[in-house]
Structure 1
Amino acid sequence: MSMTRKNLDGLAITLMLLLCVCWGLQQVAVKLAAPIVSSSMQIGLRSGLAALMVYALILVRGIPFSLRDGTLLPGLAAGALFAFEFLCVAIGLNFTSASHMSVFLYTAPVFTVIGLHWLIPSERMHASQWLGIVSAFAGMAVAFSGAFVTSSKGLDDPHLVHMLVGDGLGVLGGILWAATTVTIRKSKLSEAEPTTTLLYQLAGAAAILLAYACSLGESMLIPASPLAWGSILFQTVVVAFASYLTWFWLLRHYLASRLSVFSFLTPLFGVAAGVLFLHDAISPRFAAGACLVLAGIVLVNRRP
């Protein structure tokens, strides 16, 4: 039986603000520790450790979990999509800044409403959502064009090519994130326990990203570095475990359309953290494009 979701209250608003801060910081945490532990190994390790924590929580609290309740196939699909989303993030951060990745990855709500529009009759888009999609795509075009303006060599400039590849992987990650959301929304996972959905996603990410990192000859032994351990612990305990569980709990109890309005805050926090901790340079064109993307995210999450 479907659960009745409610409007946001003070608790939900506070939790969403904290989640946006945590999610905005995760790209920065990965980038900071990347010279010590590769991005793909970091995300693979954090996913594996967090999956073990989620499974321990299921056992300790006796939370229902079964592979025979109709969630296995959509769970495997969601896990694979989630894994390839973060594989795009991991590889993309080798080529572009954390600030750029934050903006392009969080185009996901735009692609989500497009997918839901075609697949779920009750999710048909209205005029302001179409305007939001136009704004977001225009913003992406403006943000991408900024790289060409700053380069005198065009595509012969390796730095420009690297940035375009990284930014493009950020957008692809957003598309995969949207596909994950639609998969969950269209399957039995939409009414499953938050721990079930999260376990599938984390296990899938751990399997695929660790396999990818190990295929490159990387070791799973973390060097004795406070920065590397601090980054992985933050990503594991705060981001991959606590924040995702909180997010799925919120989705089960509050209206998703109201929660998703906060999504535009995450790239703002991500850009701010990138500038503060990594000294990312923000060009005027990228800033203008990012504003258009954020405006689009707000509009696609509005309801008439």
Structure 2
Amino acid sequence: MVRQSHLDTRAVALLLLCCVLWGINQVAVKAALTEIGPLWQAGLRSVVAGLLVWLWAASRGIRLFERDGSLGGGLLAGALFAAEFACIFIGLQYTSASRMVVFLYLSPFVVALCMPLIAHGEQLAARQWAGLLLAFGAVAFAFAEGFSSPHSATQWWGDALGVAAAVLWAGTTLAIRGTRLSSALAEKTLLYQLGVSALALCAAAVFAGEPLPAHWSPRLLGLFGFQAVIVSFVSYLVWFWLIRHYSATKLAVFTLSTPLFGLVAGALLLGEGISTRLVMALAALAVGIVLVNR
């Protein structure tokens, strides 16, 4: 398939819509934590989204269960995906959604740093090393704020889980790139992640003794439905469609807007304060991503 080298109006509109949804997603997760535990929330979200992906593939005649040598990579990517979302959902109990979304965007830099280990042709230039150093410095700058905040006893723990989630997200990307998943269908790759994480996270919730909600309020149903249907199913399929039809490098630059939307959503919907230090860290991250992508 020939990819378009320029982003047309449709691509830009769809991409910005995805970034808005991804930015709001952390806010929805944190808001729902008042009614459902983090592990059940993450696990059941994967259950619903996985079923929707399977139904979507079946309706379009996409064969997901043929042997193609991707099982090992799929199980690895799914395990990393499960661990990533466990860190995010548990971490949001201790830190703000605004801070979490900024720490998550350390992931592209971890990918850039580690990619030469599995793809020897992708060596980093001096400008990219400068972008990496700037990004890691920005994250350290934002992380240090957690030790001096009024909630420093717990916020630094949530921030640390956000950084761990970013590393695990990068690990998932590297697992997909470095295994047979790199040639698998996008729907199959997504189903591996959702299926394995659904089993692992629900089992972890049972093991941890996390109670299921006795009553699903309209508020909880709305927050959960947004995460499972709109974000985990619809937006991911739109993203895969965009990757198939447009330049991945140009698409990646637009994802810079996701942390910004996350900051705004946290402030407007949860009343979270946005510090000058956090805005400065976000700006440095944006510059770092541009340097790395160039």
Q: What is the TM-score when the length of structure 2 is the normalising length?
A: 0.94
Match of 1:94 in 2: 93
**Which is further off, 241-250 or 44-53?**
241-250
Q: What amino acid is the match of 2:43?
A: G
> Does the aligned pair in 1 maintain the 2:147–2:156 contact within 8 Å?
no
Q: What pairs up with 1:197-236 in 2 under 5 angstroms?
A: 197-221=189-213, 223-236=215-228
Q: Does 1:238 align with 2:230?
A: yes
Q: Does 1:6 align with 2:4?
A: yes
Cα displacement string for residues 176-196 of structure 1 (whole angstroms, at most 9, x for unaligned residues): 111111111222222222110
Q: 1:188–1:35: structure 2 CA closer, same or farther, 3 Å change rule?
A: same
Match of 2:182 in 1: 190
Structure 1 residue 114, shift from structure 2 partner: 0.9
Q: Distance in 2 between matches of 1:221 and 1:252?
A: 39
Q: Distance in 2 between matches of 1:76 and 1:150?
A: 39
Match of 1:178 in 2: 170
Query: Which of the residues 253, 256, 280 maps onto 1:288?
Result: 280
Q: 1:168–1:78: structure 2 CA closer, same or farther, 3 Å change rule?
A: same
Q: Distance in 1 between matches of 2:57 and 2:20?
A: 27
> Does the aligned pair in 2 maintain the 1:99–1:270 contact within 8 Å?
yes
Structure 1 residue 248, shift from structure 2 partner: 2.0
> Does the aligned pair in 2 maintain the 1:115–1:179 contact within 8 Å?
no
Structure 1 residue 112, shift from structure 2 partner: 1.0
Q: Distance in 2 between matches of 1:144 and 1:19?
A: 27
Q: Distance in 2 between matches of 1:35 and 1:248?
A: 32
Q: Distance in 2 between matches of 1:258 and 1:228?
A: 36
Structure 1 residue 57, shift from structure 2 partner: 1.6
Cα displacement string for residues 144-179 of structure 1 (whole angstroms, at most 9, x for unaligned residues): 22233446xxxxxxx313111111111111111111
Match of 2:105 in 1: 106
Match of 1:76 in 2: 75
Q: What amino acid is the match of 2:158?
A: G
Q: Does 1:58 align with 2:57?
A: yes
* Residues paired across the two proteins, number: 293
Q: Distance in 1 between matches of 2:164 and 2:277?
A: 21
Query: What RMSD, in angstroms, separates the aligned Cα atoms of the two structures?
Result: 1.7
Q: What amino acid is the match of 1:271?
A: L
Secondary structure of 2:197's match? helix
Q: Distance in 1 between matches of 2:33 and 2:191?
A: 25
Match of 1:40 in 2: 39
Structure 1 residue 222, shift from structure 2 partner: 6.2
> Does the aligned pair in 2 maintain the 1:64–1:193 contact within 8 Å?
no
Cα displacement string for residues 84-128 of structure 1 (whole angstroms, at most 9, x for unaligned residues): 110110110011000010000121111111111332123212222
Match of 1:155 in 2: none
Q: What is the TM-score when the length of structure 1 is the normalising length?
A: 0.91
Q: Distance in 1 between matches of 2:175 and 2:95?
A: 29
Match of 1:249 in 2: 241
> Does the aligned pair in 2 maintain the 1:8–1:259 contact within 8 Å?
no
Q: Distance in 1 between matches of 2:106 and 2:137?
A: 12
Secondary structure of 1:121's match? coil
Match of 1:154 in 2: none
For structure 1, the residue ranges without an aligned partner over 5 or more in a row are: 152-158
For structure 2, the residue ranges without an aligned partner over 5 or more in a row are: none
Q: Distance in 1 between matches of 2:112 and 2:287?
A: 15
> Does the aligned pair in 2 maintain the 1:274–1:280 contact within 8 Å?
yes
Cα displacement string for residues 15-64 of structure 1 (whole angstroms, at most 9, x for unaligned residues): 21111111101110011111111222112111101101111122222102
Q: Distance in 1 between matches of 2:214 and 2:259?
A: 29
Q: Distance in 1 between matches of 2:148 and 2:225?
A: 39
> Does the aligned pair in 2 maintain the 1:118–1:124 contact within 8 Å?
no
Secondary structure of 2:121's match? helix
Q: Distance in 2 between matches of 1:211 and 1:238?
A: 24
**Which is further off, 4-13 or 113-122?**
4-13
> Does the aligned pair in 2 maintain the 1:263–1:297 contact within 8 Å?
no
User: What percent of counterpart residues are identical?
Assistant: 46
Q: Distance in 2 between matches of 1:234 and 1:177?
A: 21
> Does the aligned pair in 2 maintain the 1:139–1:289 contact within 8 Å?
yes
Q: Distance in 2 between matches of 1:150 and 1:56?
A: 46
